[in-house]
Amino acid sequence: MTDREKQQNHPGAGDITQDGGHRVFRLAAVVKCWNGAHGFELTVPDLVIQKGEKVALVGFSGCGKSTLLDLLAMILRPDSAAEFTFRAGQDASLDVTGAWKQKNIDGLAHARMRHIGYVLQTGGLLPFLRVQDNIALSCWGLGLPEKAAVESVAEKLGIGRHLKKFPGQLSVGERQRVAIARAMAHEPSVVIADEPTASLDPINAEEIMALFTELAEEKSVTLVVATHEWERVTALDFRPVTFDLKQDTGSGSVRAVVSG
Amino acid sequence: MHGFKTIIRLSLRDYFHERLLSACAVMGLAAILAPLLILFGVKSGIINTMVDRLVKDPRNLEISPIGSGRYGQKWFATMAGFSEVLFVIPQTRSIASSMILSRKGSDRTHTLAVDLIPTDKGDPLLEKWARVPAENAEVVLSASAARKIKVVAGQTIMGRVGRSVKGVKEQVTIALKVVAVLPLAAFSRDAAFIRLTLLEATEDYRDGFGSVLFGWPGKKRLPGLRQYPGFRLYARSIYDLIALRDRLLAQGLEVYTRAEQIEVVQRLDRSFSLIFRLIAIVAVCGYLASMASNVLAGVNRKRRHLGVIRLIGFSTSSIVWFPVVQSVATSILGTALAAGLYGISALVINRLFARYLAAGEYVCRLSALHLAAALFVTLLLGIMAASYAAFRVTKIEPSTVIRDV
């Protein structure tokens, strides 16, 4: 990238949208390849996620949803990118590609801790911490007071009575609520969720997804959710992002192109 | 900084959560360390007691001449100036240095011939076991001499010195106050310790001279420098003893010391230390290997949790401390447990041998410094054992482990 291009990526006119909000993620020509017996290549030609948006990455398993989530969460290094910036709150926008190139892993980690919450498909809770401490993790890491934040978010998700328990004592659904609470307790700008309700029964799934969305709207958090349940997210007014899969008949490798 | 603190907190919570495994690691360390502490305690206890006994007993610091020589005032002055010398005093001719002591009992008078031994302020034998006579008419008796004439400290006895002048037998007497009695352990022969002034006067009297000081009749001794056939000499320490012995040997003097016994103890100490070191090296290698595999297995088992911690956004530089903190906890708890086990064992061992020991003597003994050194070494080994696991933690990619089930 030339210096001029870099300058363009920094906060300025480019980041501010017409309606006064700003772009949280801007990705242009981002590519991630997986080598191996069946190669896989994910290409994101152009993806912009605005502040406060609710975005659903919709597709079958293996379509590249998780890869894109990990790229957005800055835990996966893109192989190439014309542009990949992240901007949260009042901070200057972060040149994610540049940080990866400079091996500034801790810089990316700090941005993640401060601005991003991540909900995994199953738990991902630390079994040796009580529910309240699992929820408080990011607050601890950031040195923020955690008590009120934990109690308020736990109350909203209906797990107030489980705070003293260990994750092992909870049902799958309750654990998923705790995972959502942990992703939101430190007031991040973005919450990324990977199939957050896929391991739940339909009734629980619906209830938890509704609560999650409601909470995100209330806190005006940008929500990026990967899911295969198209109906549920359209009903909740998510903007769908889809994956077009093409198999190369010669090599057998799969190319996925993101659009939306 | 918050990240670092949080990782310490998480590491300790995990350590406590897996308390059964942690307790096993702690006991594993104690099982290696406690026998080492006991072994080292016994080694240092026995050697220290032996050395202490050698050092504390002034007789081990004594250098005695073999045969008689001629030592002038100047020689004594030079000897007294050496830093290795604790105490030196001239000894008169052995044939002249004796006295008949007597005490009137209720039914009969007890008499006994004793050796006269010169003493003065600074005499380590008397200062350790009794007290030094301050006056010329005071005496310290050996245990056997006191027993034979049935006298205790504080009583007065009569001392008699005889001579024969031109076939006529003469004798003088002097009243002597017994100020102390040496225990049997300190001196075994029948002897009376007196000031050099009195000893010289008795020698002069036997030679036919008189003494103005004690009012004994006889020729006037011509003034001049005295020559002494022997001496009582004490080194300052067991190390000085060997140096002093070599110094006297270099002067051409034949002397007797107990240096060989001291050297035996020193050799014993060295052999014990070597054996201890060999055992300790084997134990350290074993501990390092088992601890390293333990910590590494823990990190591999917790890959997903560590990945989640990284996913939340803790930095590499703080997350490396996760296994190290646990290893340090094991080191501290394991050393504490080992020290406790050692303490109980030491108590039992010292009780068992109590009847062979004087007050303040131990068969098993470690100083606080030894225990602190043990803790330091264990901490160092713990950190070393955790370092590879810590390196592996930095290589955990959240994206590859967070979806493992």
Q: How many contacts, defined by CB atoms under 8 Å, are there between A and B? A: 81
Note whether A48 contacts B: Cβ–Cβ < 8 A: no
- Chain B, window 125-164: residues with a beta carbon less than 8 angstroms from a chain A beta carbon: none
* pLDDT over threshold 70, residue A174: yes
Residue of A nearest to B316 (CA): A106
Sheet holding B230-235, edge to edge: B85-91, B230-235, B62-65, B255-256
Note whether A211 contacts B: Cβ–Cβ < 8 A: no
CA distances from B175 to A125, A165, B138, B170, B201 (A): 97, 93, 9, 17, 14
Question: Quick one: CA torsion of A101, A81, A59, A74, rounded to 10 degrees?
Answer: 30
* Phi, psi (deg, nearest 5) at residue B252: 90, 15
Note whether A73 contacts B: Cβ–Cβ < 8 A: yes
Closest by Cα among A40, A90, A86 to A62? A40
Query: Over the stretch B125-178, which tens digit does the pLDDT of each residue have?
Result: 999 888 999 999 999 999 999 999 999 999 999 999 999 888 889 999 999 999
A124/B308 touch (CB, cutoff 8 Å), yes or no: yes
pLDDT at residue B405 in the model: 57
Note whether A112 contacts B: Cβ–Cβ < 8 A: yes
Rounded to an integer, what distance in angstroms lies between the CA atom of residue A103 and that of residue A226? 27
* Phi, psi (deg, nearest 5) at residue A126: -85, 120
A141/B399 touch (CB, cutoff 8 Å), yes or no: no
Q: Complex ipTM above 0.90?
A: no
pLDDT at residue A248 in the model: 77
Note whether B14 contacts A: Cβ–Cβ < 8 A: yes
Residue of A nearest to B13 (CA): A128
Query: Over the stretch B55-109, which tens digit does the pLDDT of each residue have?
Result: 778 888 899 999 888 999 999 999 999 999 999 999 998 777 889 999 988 888 8
Rounded to an integer, what distance in angstroms lies between the CA atom of residue B131 and that of residue B181? 9
* pLDDT over threshold 70, residue A110: yes
pLDDT at residue B121 in the model: 93
B13/A128 touch (CB, cutoff 8 Å), yes or no: yes
* pLDDT over threshold 70, residue A139: yes
Query: Over the stretch B203-229, which tens digit does the pLDDT of each residue have?
Result: 999 988 999 899 999 888 877 778 899
**Chain B environment of A120 (Cβ under 8 Å):** 308, 402-403
The whole-angstrom distance between A161's CA and the closest CA on chain B is 21
The whole-angstrom distance between B355's CA and the closest CA on chain A is 53
Other Cβ atoms closer than 10 A to B181: 22
* pLDDT over threshold 80, residue A36: no
Instruction: Give the pLDDT band (50/70/90) at residue A21.
Output: low
- B209, B96 contact by CB (below 8 A): no
Rounded to an integer, what distance in angstroms lies between the CA atom of residue B75 and that of residue B227? 10
Find where tokens 């002397």 sit: B255
Rounded to an integer, what distance in angstroms lies between the CA atom of residue B40 and that of residue B44? 6
Rounded to an integer, what distance in angstroms lies between the CA atom of residue B405 and that of residue B402? 8
Note whether B395 contacts A: Cβ–Cβ < 8 A: no
A109/B315 touch (CB, cutoff 8 Å), yes or no: yes
pTM: 0.75
pLDDT at residue B202 in the model: 93
Question: What integer is the mean pLDDT of A139-148?
Answer: 92
